[in-house]
Copies of this chain bind each other. A is one copy, B any other.
Amino acid sequence: MTIRVQAEDFDTGAEIAKISASSSNVGGVCSFVGLVRDADEDKSITAMTLEHYPGMTEKQLAKIEAEAHQRWPLDDSLIIHRYGRLEPGEQIVLVVTASAHRKAAFEACEFLIDWLKTKAPFWKSEETPDGNTWVEAKATDDDAAEKWGK
């Protein structure tokens, strides 16, 4: 179980390899990489700045990761979330889960990213041709988080 909140980019392949090797009984490793897009609903985006709440972020990420391990039989997991200014194509977030069984790996990975979208103290400001705007929370993200229950 690892969490990292950092400005620097990360090496997705190296992280997946590390989690894959966490136990000799890992049968499946699921991962998700979130990237900065160059447009959101026809509005073009030149960059995005992620602000977060240092301290609370790490605390809440560690908590949700522990919860994923309670809910699913995971051998290991990793969450990396970046902050600061990022341009289209750059990696924002990485979630990796390893389990003997693929279903557990998939579900835990999706659970973690759904949670990050709505409950991790990050806020995104987008640079658009009309100036900077704060990204609003999406109802579809709330729905996705809801489905995992309390």
> Residues on A close to B: CB < 8 A?
11-14, 16-17, 20-21, 24-35, 37-39, 88-89, 91, 100, 102-103, 105-106, 109-110, 113, 144
Contacts and interface: CB of A to CB of B under 8 A. Distances in A.
Contact of A26 (B16, B26, B35, B105): B35
Contact of A12 (B16, B26, B38): B16
B24 A29 contact: no
Copies of this chain: 2
Contacts of A35: 20, 26-29
B106 A110 contact: yes
A12 B25 CA distance: 19
Contacts of A113: 28, 102
